Amino acid sequence: MGITGSKLEKALGDQFPEGERYFGLENFGNTCYCNSVLQALYFCVPFREQLLDYYSNSKNPSDAVEENLLTCLADLFLQITSQKKKTGAIAPKRFIQRLKKRNEAFRGFMHQDAHEFLNFLLNELVDILEKEAQVAKSDEENLPPPEKITDGLNNISSDGPQKEPLVTWVHKNFQGVLTNETRCLCCETVTARDEPFLDLSIDIDQNSSITSCLKNFSSTETLNAEDKFFCDKCQSLQEAQKRMKIKSAPPILVIHLKRFKFIEETRRDKKLLYRVVFPLELKLSHTVEDVDAEYSLFAVVVHIGSGPTHGHYVSLVKSHNHWLFFDDENVEMIDESAIQTFFGAAHEYSSNTDHGYILFYERTVARSTS
C-alpha cells in the first residue's frame, strides 16, 4: 500500500485536500462487501462529521460506554481522520468482530451482499441511538426503561398508542418518505399511506437509466381480478389504481439497483448484467410536495462478478472534486470519465461484469416548482 499511497500523493500533489485522509481497509477473507460500504459512508461528509461529533460528546471518562457497532464505526472513522500520514491502510478488525458477533448472517467466509450489510448497519445505528435516547429519558424521569424500547424505524412501545418517532442524525441524513397511494376506481376515494425509507431499492431494465427506473418505480399499477383492493368506503373489493411516490426526498439519497433476481425456473438467484446509466447529476421531479430535488453523485459501490454468490466489491468515491477508486487496501485516483465503465453491459454476452450496485447521491438543490 506504501507504493500505491505514494503514487496517490504524487498524483494529487499540492491539490491534496487539507486535513483529508485516503486510507484503504484490510480485507479479512471476504469483507470487501463491508469495506466498500464503509468507504462510501466515510466520504458522506455530513454523516462522518455527525458520527464523530456524537462519539466525542459521548466519551465521558466516568462512564463505561458499552461497545457496539456505533462506537466501533466511530472509532474506525476517528482512526482514519487522526492518522499522521495522508494515505495508507487500516485494519477494521474491531468493527468486523463486532459485526459478526451482532449478526450471525455475516459470520463465515461466504460471499455477502453489500446492500444487506448497509441496510442492517443503518438500522442498527438507528436502533442504538433510539435506545440511548429512551434510557436517557427514563433516567431523567427516574423511571425504569420500558420493556420494549423501539423496533427499528417504527418506534412503537410495548403498550399504549404509537409515539412520535425519534428523529436521529442518521434519519436526518438518509431518511425520506414514500407515499403509497391507492385510488378506488368505483368511488374515486384515495387512500394514502406514508412509509419511511433509508434507501430506495429499484427494479432495473436492460439499456435503461436511473431516471427511467425511478419513473417505473412511481408508475401507476391497476389492481384487478385476484388483486382487487378492499375499499373502506365501498366496503367491498374494487378495482383500483396504485402508485408509489417520493413524498419527502432525503439529504443523502441511497439507490440500490436490484441486480440479483430469483429465477423461478432454476430456483436460483441470477445477476442481471444490465447496462443502467447513472448520471453524475440527478433530478427528482414531480414529488408530492411539488419540489424539484437535485442531487450530485459522490459514491458508488460496485459489484464485480457474473453471479450473486461470488465476486468482489469495490467503491468509487468523489472527494474534493477528485474521484478515487477503493479496492480494499488499495486506493488510486481515477478519471471522472471512467465511471461510465461501471454502467454495465450493453448486451448479454459482454465480458464486462463491473456493475454499479449502490449509488450515493447528495442533495444540492431543493426549490418549489409552484
Residues marked active site are found at 32, 312
CA neighbours within 13 Å on the CB side: how many for 1? 19
Distance of CA 234 to the CA centre of its chain: 40
Query: Which whole-number Å values give the CA distances from 180 to 40, 146, 211, 254, 284, in the listed order?
Result: 29, 32, 20, 19, 17
Cβ contact 220:243 at 8 Å: yes
What is the rounded distance in angstroms from the CA atom of residue 139 to the CA atom of residue 76?
Answer: 30
Cβ contact 155:163 at 8 Å: yes
Q: Is 183 helix (H, G, I), strand (E, B) or coil?
A: strand
Q: Is 278 helix (H, G, I), strand (E, B) or coil?
A: coil
What is the rounded distance in angstroms from the CA atom of residue 339 to the CA atom of residue 277?
Answer: 10
What is the rounded distance in angstroms from the CA atom of residue 273 to the CA atom of residue 259?
Answer: 7
What is the rounded distance in angstroms from the CA atom of residue 121 to the CA atom of residue 194?
Answer: 23
